[in-house]
Structure 1
Amino acid sequence: MRREFQPAVYIMASRRNGTIYVGVTSNLRVRAWQHREGVADGFTSRYACKALVWFELHATMQHAILREKQLKGGSRKKKLALIETLNPTWRDMFGELAL
């Protein structure tokens, strides 16, 4: 059975070393699809951040929100290093999410 509620922090990117966006959601597959399709107006559609390049699952939404704030408060250099550690080729990880 697929879990509909799974808190996650994620990073979307326009391209390798391009514009990045850090977000939090309770359903990563749906939210990443919304960014990819441009159905959510805002930063990601304006800057074409369509590739899911990093994500981290959390046990609670509270933990996910705290982690999102930590990442948003950090430097761009730290965010890029985080992506490079898990995903050195900056592949779009959307297809790897469980259906």
Structure 2
Amino acid sequence: MIRMEGIQRRYVSDEVETTALHDIDLHVAAGEFLAIMGPSGCGKSTLLNTLGTVDRPTGGRYLFGDRDLAALGEKELAKFRAETLGFVFQSFNLIDELTIEE
């Protein structure tokens, strides 16, 4: 089960603050399938990166089962990703010199 409550994600540069996700609530039950659709720039990739723990939310709670992923440190998140998640990147940057097995 995945549950996001009040998830926010802001990007801050020297001159601009951009809110990519604002107060997102999302509940996905075990075995449920979900499609995320919307126009360019609406936050789909940010949401997926947050779900995959590639990006951290700047606010809210992210629960995976009974674990609050927003509260985990980088080492714990890396272990969680390695043991629990599968993530296919939009730009997967394969290394041409390596075979599939390598």
On whether the aligned pair clears a TM of 0.5, the verdict is: no
More helix by share: 1
TM-score normalised to structure 1 length: 0.32
TM-score normalised to structure 2 length: 0.31
Larger Rg: 2
More strand by share: 2
Between 1 and 2, higher relative CO (CA 8 Å, sep ≥ 6) is seen in 1
